[in-house]
Structure 1
């Protein structure tokens, strides 16, 4: 039966479900949700209650989703970014499974201190690298960095990053506790 499911998935791919329908639905949903939440087109009163202008929000989301689907390059970037992001999410879940296997389970398990912010920063950097790779810019940046490492600009950037990291490390980071006042006397 595995080949029947494989054939069904292949058939949906030939129909354009993955290249047209799913990207259209995703962009439509995201744009519609953002427009509903931000109320850019305002609200209207119906029966004494305020509602967002769903007709304008829906039409704008519909048009934007069609524009995105019309560009095969954008659809390819979306497909690559989503696939890589799912891999990053799977990697983080596997890490949490491994970290949880060393936990006793008697109390809840949370990352304390700066660890949660460190992992959020690592995930953010991962997402940025995924987008840069999907757009084809990561290869350009990497090749430029490797071939021009002796240039003044690259050396200056590396030095500035080292100085900023050293200053943040020495000063204790951005999350210093503020003291309410001294209790002398």
Structure 2
């Protein structure tokens, strides 16, 4: 009896997972960006498809032919970073779901929205930098425990629960300082002054 594990092993043996999935990811992101921004023009879907195809091929083909320099293979960096980015996305979505259940308030322009933007940005930069080898192969000895995926998951879970507890137990009217990141920093300064 065939199962999904054998199917994915067969696809991996032919290089479909290694080449096709990054190709599709890059194509979809570039195509969606071109469609949304209308850089090439309105109603120019065929040109957007061609540009997205060319850019996706320019990323994947050097990976398949082995012409990327050592530690510079974009497909390997993407494959190493995306599982961690997915974990951060799941944590943020969980936080948003819990906030939506307990407090039906618009958080997009408040302190929490700003915090989510900053945490997401830091996580994306850290995980892609780690996957690209920018931070070195190992962490300093005193930070070695952070390299463990279980420890990373526990830290993210604790941060999510901390934010949820803060959001539930905060006093009403104390967080409405301003909108966006400016409001986040003003609220942070006000909290530190107390």
* TM-score bracket, shorter-length normalisation: 0.5 to 0.7
Kindly state the Cα deviation for residue 98 of structure 1 after the two structures are TM-superposed: 6.6
1:60 matched to 2:39:
no
Query: Please, which of 93, 114, 117 is the counterpart of residue 114 of structure 2?
Result: 117
1:12-36 per-position Cα deviation (integer Å, ceiling 9, x unaligned): 2112222111111111122122222
Gaps of 5+ in 2: 64-72, 144-177, 188-194
Bigger share in strand: 1
Question: In the comparison of the two structures, how many residue pairs are matched?
Answer: 137
Equivalent position SS for 2:39: coil
Equivalent position SS for 2:135: helix
RCO higher in structure (CA 8 A, sep ≥6): 2
1:92-144 per-position Cα deviation (integer Å, ceiling 9, x unaligned): 3455567678x4xxx5266584233123211211111011111110227966x
Alignment of 1:38-53 (within 5 A): 38-43=37-42, 51-52=43-44
Rg (Cα) greater in structure: 1
1:81 matched to 2:81:
yes
Gaps of 5+ in 1: 44-50, 147-171, 178-185
Distance (whole Å) between structure 1 residues aligned to residue 41 and residue 79 of structure 2: 33
Distance 1:17 1:124, change over 3 A: same
Aligned to 1:92: 92
Equivalent position SS for 1:60: helix
Distance (whole Å) between structure 2 residues aligned to residue 61 and residue 31 of structure 1: 5
Distance 1:11 1:127, change over 3 A: same
Distance (whole Å) between structure 2 residues aligned to residue 40 and residue 14 of structure 1: 39
TM-score by length of 2: 0.57
Kindly state the Cα deviation for residue 38 of structure 1 after the two structures are TM-superposed: 2.6
Alignment of 1:103-182 (within 5 A): 103=102, 108=104, 111=107, 113-139=110-136, 174-175=182-183
Contact 2:30–2:52 under 8 Å retained in 1: yes
Distance 1:116 1:66, change over 3 A: same
Distance (whole Å) between structure 1 residues aligned to residue 98 and residue 136 of structure 2: 32
